[in-house]
């Protein structure tokens, strides 16, 4: 006989039924009602979510697309003939026209002056970051300054910097807010050799904690001689970026994070004045004006084409304009307000959940107030005796209820290590264990600590029911011991 209690039995622990909670939510956050155009959009364009009973809480992983986006895109493909844009024939010209209008739409979307910025299409944000890494003129006295809070695709640039003997400096974070140590940032920004190239990279929003880092750092870093790389991948799905107000040298993004479809297209939005500084390590089809075998010469395009290797993902590019229209249709202020109210409710409810003996159920990593934070929340669960509940267990339970969440460290090891209290010494011990570590080795080596967390993130079409269902799931862990899970 199974001695475990029925986990799925309805246990509320302070959580009222959805109708009552919804009423109270609207009383506490009446502005939420002004975002009801999102409910209409969800009903019209994302009805598959409710038809199939999905609770989607991984908007930082990927945005979702509306049905109308793919129908409009399919219509375009059905009604026109598109050739490879590298020619001047009629089908190519047709495509070329759309490629160039997409570049312009992207720049317009960010209020970027075409005289100041270019839009380079890449495969994704990581592709854009790699372009910078491989082309940036790091030299021996250069610095690559970056925050602990960064996605691995930004961390990876350090390998290019290292190869060129530049120094790599990380700015640590303060706990429990998981914000960058501003004192250290100010000090590091003032320490550079202005005669060489120096790059400062940070995310506008953390994909781990949802922390939003100040866009004001861009100007102060540039004034001291830094080039600034802003990773906007996790920020843009729910926040506008105005490049007529802020002027980073480089911005990277993936479009599927904003509106779900298409995948396989990202962008590097770069200052024209900085393109000449970047030296590509090779050339490829599409990137050159002339290349010769016998003459052993090549000349790169000076514009965005010089950075777009081979044939663009051209048939997908028109879907970018369609997706950007979807965001504009709702508008960032509405999206932002919805994210703010739902996240606030989530934070209050998750922190309130306690075991009957007073022990906390959930530890949220990062800010628990809505100041300078987005709709991404990372956390760990603890059983009634205060032991970590492995994030895999939470994910299993969520999966069974058709709730899509993310677990692990989300490609942001700096945040993960700080949040989970894993020290440099802990890591050095693990790294000296064997020549090569798999994730499971790290997990078993970091004894008694979790090596990952549970992440939920809300987005464009999230509603109250989505967040309620997660809190309802969480409340089922109240008073449970590890042996019962
Ligand atoms: C902040 C941040 N930067 C960069 C990336 C990399 O994006 P992609 O995997 O689309 O290249 C991600 C992906 O989650 C991210 O959240």
Tens of pLDDT, residue by residue over 81-125, are 999 998 899 999 999 999 999 999 999 999 999 999 999 999 999
The rounded Å distance from CA 162 to ligand 1 centre is 22
- The best mutation among 211, 236, 411, 457 to test binding of ligand 1, ranked by most ligand atoms within 8 Å of the C-beta, falls on 411
Task: State if residue 233 touches ligand 1 by the CB under 6 angstroms criterion.
Answer: yes
How confident is the prediction for the chain on average, in pLDDT? Answer: 94
Q: By the 8 A CB rule, do 189 and 200 touch?
A: yes
Number of other CB atoms surrounding residue 341 within 10 Å: 24
* CA–CA distance, 263 with 127 (Å, rounded to integer): 13
Digit-coded pLDDT (tens) for 280-320: 999 999 999 999 999 999 999 999 999 999 999 999 999 99
Query: What pLDDT sits at residue 433?
Result: 83
Only one residue has tokens 């739409």, namely 105
Closest among 363, 380, 377, 351 to 451, alpha carbons compared: 380
Q: Whose CA is nearest to atom 7 of ligand 1?
A: 125
Burial of 264 (0-12, 13-18, 19+ CB in 10 A): middle
Report the atom number in ligand 1 closest to the C-alpha of 410. Answer: 14
Tally the residues of the chain: 485
Query: 1: helix, coil or strand?
Result: coil
pLDDT band at 1 (very low <50, low <70, confident <90, very high): very low
Digit-coded pLDDT (tens) for 223-238: 999 999 999 999 999 9
Task: Show the DSSP H helices in 253-317 as ranges.
Answer: 255-259, 272-275
Active-site positions? 411
The rounded Å distance from CA 199 to ligand 1 centre is 19
Give how far Cα 138 sits from Cα of 24, 40, 188, 189, 223, Å. 55, 50, 17, 17, 19
DSSP-derived pairing of the beta strands 403-404 and 55-56: parallel
The pTM (predicted TM-score) of the whole model is 0.95
Query: What pLDDT sits at residue 3?
Result: 44
List the end-to-end C-alpha distance of the chain, in Å, as a whole number.
16
Digit-coded pLDDT (tens) for 367-425: 999 999 999 999 999 999 999 999 999 999 999 999 999 998 899 999 999 998 888 88
Query: What pLDDT sits at residue 375?
Result: 98
Is the pLDDT confidence value at 12 over 80? no
Is the pLDDT confidence value at 481 over 50? yes
* CA–CA distance, 149 with 127 (Å, rounded to integer): 19
Task: State if residue 126 touches ligand 1 by the CB under 6 angstroms criterion.
Answer: yes
* Four-point Cα dihedral 279, 320, 206, 372, nearest 10: 120
Query: What pLDDT sits at residue 371?
Result: 94
- The best mutation among 254, 261, 267, 412 to test binding of ligand 1, ranked by most ligand atoms within 8 Å of the C-beta, falls on 254
Number of other CB atoms surrounding residue 307 within 10 Å: 24
Q: Whose CA is nearest to atom 12 of ligand 1?
A: 233
Q: How many Cα neighbours within 13 Å face the side chain of 199?
A: 31
């Amino acid at each position: 006989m199974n001695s475990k209690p029925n986990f799925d039995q309805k246990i509320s622990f302070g959580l009222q039924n959805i109708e009552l909670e919804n009423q109270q939510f609207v009383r506490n956050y009446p502005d939420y009602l002004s975002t009801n155009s999102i409910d209409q959009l969800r009903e019209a364009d994302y009805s598959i979510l409710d038809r199939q009973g999905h609770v989607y809480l991984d908007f930082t992983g990927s945005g979702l697309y509306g049905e109308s986006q793919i129908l409009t895109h399919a219509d375009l493909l059905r009604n026109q003939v598109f050739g490879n844009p590298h020619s001047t024939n009629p089908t190519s010209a047709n495509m070329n026209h759309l490629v160039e209008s997409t570049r312009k739409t992207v720049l317009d979307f960010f209020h970027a002056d075409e005289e100041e910025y270019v839009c380079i299409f890449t495969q994704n944000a990581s592709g854009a970051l790699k372009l910078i890494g491989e082309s940036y003129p790091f030299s021996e006295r250069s610095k690559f300054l970056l925050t602990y809070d960064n996605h691995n695709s930004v961390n990876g640039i350090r390998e290019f910097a290292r190869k060129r003997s530049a120094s790599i400096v990380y700015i640590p974070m303060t706990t429990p807010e998981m914000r960058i140590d501003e004192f250290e940032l100010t000090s590091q920004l003032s320490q550079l050799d202005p005669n060489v190239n120096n790059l400062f990279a940070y995310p506008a929003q953390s994909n781990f904690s949802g922390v939003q880092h100040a866009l004001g750092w861009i100007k102060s870093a540039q004034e001291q001689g830094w080039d600034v790389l802003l990773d906007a991948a996790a920020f843009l799905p729910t926040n506008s970026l105005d490049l007529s107000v802020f002027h980073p040298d480089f911005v990277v993004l993936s479009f599927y994070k904003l509106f779900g479809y298409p995948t396989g297209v990202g962008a590097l939005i770069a200052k024209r004045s900085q393109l000449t500084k970047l030296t590509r390590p090779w050339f490829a089809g599409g990137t050159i004006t002339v290349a010769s075998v016998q003459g052993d010469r090549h000349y790169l395009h000076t514009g965005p084409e010089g950075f777009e290797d081979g044939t663009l993902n051209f048939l997908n590019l028109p879907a970018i304009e369609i997706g950007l229209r979807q965001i504009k249709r709702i508008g960032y202020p509405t999206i932002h307000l919805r994210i703010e109210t739902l996240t606030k409710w989530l934070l209050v409810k998750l922190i309130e959940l306690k075991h009957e003996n007073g022990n906390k159920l959930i530890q949220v990593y990062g800010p628990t107030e809505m100041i300078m934070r987005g709709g991404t929340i990372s956390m760990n669960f603890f059983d009634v005796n205060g032991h970590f509940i492995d994030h895999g267990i939470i994910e299993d339970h969520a999966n069974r209820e058709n709730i899509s969440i993310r677990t692990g460290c989300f490609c942001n090891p700096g945040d993960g290590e700080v949040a989970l209290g894993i020290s440099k010494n802990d890591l050095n011990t693990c790294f000296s264990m064997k020549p090569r570590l798999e994730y499971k080795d790290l997990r078993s080596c970091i004894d008694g600590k979790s090596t990952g967390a549970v992440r939920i993130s809300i987005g464009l079409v999230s509603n109250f029911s989505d967040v309620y269902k997660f809190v309802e799931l969480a409340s089922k862990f109240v008073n449970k011991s590890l042996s019962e899970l």
